[in-house]
Amino acid sequence: MVVLIVVLLVLVVIVPIVGWALWLFISAAVVGAIIGGLARLVLPGRQDIGIFSTILIGWIGSLVGSLIGRHVFHVGSILTVLCEVAVAAILVAIASGGAGNLVARRSNSLRW
């Protein structure tokens, strides 16, 4: 009887919580990839950052841009997405600028 209660508890409580957390993680990665990709498309030139940096920056830009769009400016959905892309573009520019300087310093230090 105790085993049945534990199995039911796991199936009813633990599995949905883990599934919900996994769904949040996957959806955050997808949204981060979309917003980060749009931010990289908005910026001219080449950005020297990887896909995981793009996803992370897109996710952070999505959170901050959503906060700014919805709670500071009180605008609708389309303008909120534009705020998210703008914040992500600024973060991509900062990250790629730092990465570019790091690569430039590394290549200059290798010269005789």
The predicted model scores a pTM of: 0.71
pLDDT tens string, the chain, 112 residues long: the values are 888 888 888 878 888 888 888 888 888 889 999 999 999 999 988 888 889 999 999 999 999 998 999 889 989 889 999 999 999 999 999 998 865 555 555 555 555 5
Q: For 32-95, what is the HEC assignment? A: HHHHHHHHHHHCCCCCCCCHHHHHHHHHHHHHHHHHHHHHHCCCCHHHHHHHHHHHHHHHHHHH
